[in-house]
Amino acid sequence: METIDSILGFWFGTDPDDEATAKKQGKMWWQKQPEIDTLIRQRFIFYTQEASTGILEPWTRSAQGLLALILLTDQFPRNMYRDTPQAFAYDELARSWCKQGMAAGLDLELTPIQRAFFYLPLEHSELLEDQRLSLQQFDKLAALGTGSNGQAFTGYADFARRHHAIIERFGRFPHRNRILDRRSTAEETAFLQEKGSSF
């Protein structure tokens, strides 16, 4: 049986230092690995489905619980259902929990590296207002850090800016068009030939 603690422990490990966590977990977070996708699907698919039905609603009472729900509905589907429309099926739910937590100030109870994943539903959104809010939150994280840790959060803020720029320009992420069976415009097709056009 998975719990809030086991979900967070799987994703963030047990090191209390954010910089060490980012180094240890970064490969799992940012690199496509079929074995990791399979592991996440095997361990967590049931809990993602449970989250979408409201059964795990009691988890929304704590910052850690909300973060676990956001991982289950924002991050894990991108692994479990990679390159299929289902990868984005829970995005609206994840965004609602992100905003709910921010409104209550629960996000501020988390470590900076945890907050980065708390805010990712905003960065994944195809709504410009969400992208603007994402920029604000990732800029705040970048302002918190110093040294190499600060550089890491500066990198996250840079990625937030890149996502914002694409939504500002196209109103959607063109690299999702093929997966979601959307017809690309000529401008989008040209953009997709550019390096760094996909995430």
CATH number at residue 12: 1.25.40.10
* 121 inside domain: yes
* 197 inside domain: no
Distance CA 40, CA 10 (A): 9
Write down the mean pLDDT value for the chain.
94
Tell me the residue range of the domain where 74 lies. Answer: 4-191
Token match 């995005």: residue? 91
Mean pLDDT of 158-185: 97
pLDDT band at 188 (very low <50, low <70, confident <90, very high): very high
CA gyration radius for the chain?
16
Please write the tens of the pLDDT for every residue from 88-121. 999 999 999 999 999 999 999 999 999 999 999 9
pLDDT of residue 3: 98
* 92 inside domain: yes
* 61 inside domain: yes
pLDDT of residue 196: 77
Mean pLDDT of 66-89: 97
Question: How many structural domains is the chain composed of?
Answer: 1
* 199 inside domain: no
* 152 inside domain: yes
* 40 inside domain: yes
Distance CA 180, CA 89 (A): 11
* 198 inside domain: no
Distance CA 49, CA 126 (A): 23
Q: Is the dihedral of CA 58, 63, 68, 72 positive or negative?
A: positive
